Amino acid sequence: MISKYGYDVVTIVGVICVIGSALSWYFVEWKILKFGMIGIMILGLAFTVSFFRDPDRVTPSDGNLVISPADGKVVLIKQIHEDEYLKTNAIQVSIFMSPLDVHVNRYPISGRVGYFKHIPGDYLVAYEEKSSLRNERTHIGVENGTVKVLFKQIAGFVARRIVANVEVGDTAIAGARFGMIKFGSRVDVIVPNSMLVKVKVGDKTIAGETVIAVVT
């Protein structure tokens, strides 16, 4: 299944590839160049479709779990003081999403969206630690009474567009889709220091399924 966030891009790339392949077939006489150009068009379309794929996921129903909002690799876990939304000592788990990962983002917990902010910025390589403070990003906070979680969509060197269909007051459902970052990116998940983190650096995460932390 292709994500609704990618319909426009897939359509445009598809049209370009069809037209480019047709022009190559009819107007390029050198066979090696002709089939090479058609092959590039097919690979480009295949990559675009793969990037915007949106598989279904089975989310754990336990309300005491914080679920990964992104597919990718855990590149950083550190202690911080979060004074923007949680306003307490916290743990930051950073997940790097390569261009080959699924890029649809999902809510990590159920509750109410209590905070949303878009911050313009740079486009540093997303796995660098300083990208969390300097890159373009959105900050989203969800609370469900006793638990607050802050997570950040961070644009990367290749990614140039963050999609977040979120407003303060929205109802969040753990594992439900809320947006994506197009073409390579990072997501930071920030939880209170009292939670037990269940992943380690180097682990692969699956959005909507992998348990990031447990309420203790």
pLDDT above 90 covers a percentage of the chain that reads: 55
What pLDDT sits at residue 109?
Answer: 95
- 59 is a domain residue: no
| SS3 readout for 15-52 | HHHHHHHHHHHHHCCCHHHHHHHHHHHHHHHHHHHHHC
Q: Which of 3, 21, 24, 185 is catalytic?
A: 185
Residue 122 and residue 206 in one domain: yes
- Are residues 137 and 194 both part of a single domain? yes
Tell me, yes or no, whether 58 lies in a domain. no
User: Within this chain, do residues 138 and 45 fall inside the same structural domain, yes or no?
Assistant: no
pLDDT digits (tens, 9 = 90+) for 46-90: 888 877 788 999 999 888 899 999 999 999 999 999 999 999 999
Looking at the 3D structure of the chain, how many domains does it have?
A: 2
User: Residue 83 contacts by C-beta under 8 Å, 6 or more apart in sequence?
Assistant: none
Tell me, yes or no, whether 80 and 31 share the same domain.
no
- Is residue 86 within 8 A of residue 192, CB to CB? The reply is yes
My answer on whether 36 and 121 are in the same domain is no
Query: Domain check: are 25 and 75 in the same one?
Result: no
Pairing type for strands 204-205 and 111-119 reads: unpaired
Tell me, yes or no, whether 97 lies in a domain.
yes
| Residue 109 belongs to domain spanning | 65-214
Residue 57 lies in a domain: no
Residues in the chain: 216
Q: Tell whether 56 is covered by a domain.
A: no
CATH number for the domain harbouring residue 115: 2.70.70
- Indicate if 143 and 191 belong to the same structural domain: yes
CB-CB contact of 194 with 100 (8 Å)? no
pTM of the entire predicted model: 0.84
Asked if residue 118 lies in contact with residue 210, where contact means CB atoms within 8 angstroms, the answer is no
**Does residue 99 sit in the same domain as residue 30?**
no
Q: Over the stretch 146-186, which tens digit does the pLDDT of each residue have?
A: 789 999 998 866 555 788 889 999 999 999 999 988 766 88
Q: Is residue 44 part of a domain?
A: yes
131 is a catalytic site residue:
no
In-domain check, residue 93: yes
In a domain, 60, yes or no: no
Q: What is the pLDDT of residues 118-137, one digit of tens each?
A: 988 665 555 555 556 667 88
